[in-house]
Structure 1
């Protein structure tokens, strides 16, 4: 079985009701060519399942949501989404002025309702595919709520007791706040506070649980810090953008990750902008 794993896409619809925001975020609003190349690549690869690790859209609106759904539906395979912070954030118009994006409780609630109304599940899920278990962890709020922590700990404990031949692969948007990832970020950008870019609220024991229960972890969010971090045999992949932005440069942008569930390592392919 083959998975196509998509990093951040930040899709913006031309029909979104905030043209001021589209103008501010033109580097993601003008990616039609890259999305076309992405569609061609994924359809050529013919994966059995597509997984987005979040920031599928640049901010929540029904129009952005619908454009993203149409795009994923066009890839020729079933797909799943684990949400990013942008997927639950939004702009507001007040006294004629557009401000945001905000990640308030009210906006998050409206965004989650919007995804649900469209029939898209974005909560925590465990999905068995053959001998593999896929965990989709909702890290969109950044601060991980207690119920999500409990869900993850239960699933990691169960995975640690599975057969060595049974893989457990975790997908989430914001990377875990563990020492190896913090070191990686500061090695790329010394002086940066890595805590600001990582999950908050997970217990200190989460690293041991991840190492014991996981085969691989795939995350997005860190546009400037894509890479591979190994922790005691656990491979953690910090994915680059899977789209090519217009007018801004991000490391290895336009990268799509393919994973065969046969034990082989992930394969990363750069988009061909000529398409």
Structure 2
């Protein structure tokens, strides 16, 4: 009988305001179980500083499995560095990604990125999500490229629709994007941002798609303790999700 594939889904590490005990616990779990990969859905840092990215790089580099990364709204320069935010918002993130991200080379699995972060928006709160037409097209092309894979996960930072959590994502274009991803055959959309885990089925335009959110390993708690998601992909295509919480 085929062994299930195990993935760890983690989010919102927030180096600069990290929870060191939670990070040590997560690293020990990775070392103990050796999942096929770790998927991190953004907010590696608190304010996008060079020092915070250096700390995140050092910690992620010691994980002994492939790591897939997405940027979060905290991974671009903060508002008091407006020139850098507007001209080179992803420079530090891309340097970390180039140094650390590994392709998840599994025959029946693909992880497709969807960018939901914007350097600027026509609203006051730029921390909220946005899916542009170009970024959605890139994700749809990624899903099409991996059409032969049984499990196709889309990874982004902001939940595309609200998931009844304490915090909100208010993702502009999110509902439209989620419907398009469902039509394209995505298995599930993984995200973070709200710092509380969730696992829901959403029906849009006659299509059903699963949305899965990871909590945080930082001190910026909402209603949940530090936690991450353990995803188990079974040979029959089913995916079980277990929230693992720091005692």
TM-score, with length taken from structure 1 = 0.70
Q: How does 1:1-275 map to 2 (within 5 A)?
A: 1-12=5-16, 28=17, 31-90=19-78, 92=80, 104=82, 106-107=84-85, 109-118=87-96, 120=98, 129-141=106-118, 142-156=129-143, 162=147, 166-177=150-161, 181=162, 184-185=163-164, 197-202=169-174, 204=176, 206-212=177-183, 213-223=185-195, 225-232=196-203, 233-241=208-216, 243-245=217-219, 249-262=221-234, 263-272=238-247
Q: Distance in 2 between matches of 1:254 and 1:111?
A: 28
Greater Cα shift, 82-91 or 231-240: 231-240
Calculate the aligned-residue CA RMSD, in Å.
3.0
Distance 1:67 1:249, change over 3 A: closer
Q: Distance in 2 between matches of 1:33 and 1:11?
A: 13
Gap regions ≥5 residues in structure 1? 13-27, 93-101
**Aligned 8 A contact 2:113 2:155 in 1:** yes
- Post-superposition shift, 1:145? 3.0
- Post-superposition shift, 1:5? 1.0
Gap regions ≥5 residues in structure 2? 119-128
Q: Distance in 1 between matches of 2:191 and 2:96?
A: 24
Distance 1:135 1:252, change over 3 A: same
**Aligned 8 A contact 1:149 1:202 in 2:** no
Rg comparison, structure with higher value: 1
**Aligned 8 A contact 1:132 1:261 in 2:** no
**Aligned 8 A contact 1:122 1:138 in 2:** no
Q: Distance in 1 between matches of 2:233 and 2:43?
A: 25
**Aligned 8 A contact 2:14 2:46 in 1:** yes
- Post-superposition shift, 1:105? 6.4
**Aligned 8 A contact 1:2 1:258 in 2:** yes
Give the count of matched residue pairs: 225
Q: Distance in 2 between matches of 1:228 and 1:119?
A: 27
- Post-superposition shift, 1:152? 2.4
**Deviation beyond 6 Å, 4+ runs, structure 1:** none
- Post-superposition shift, 1:200? 1.5
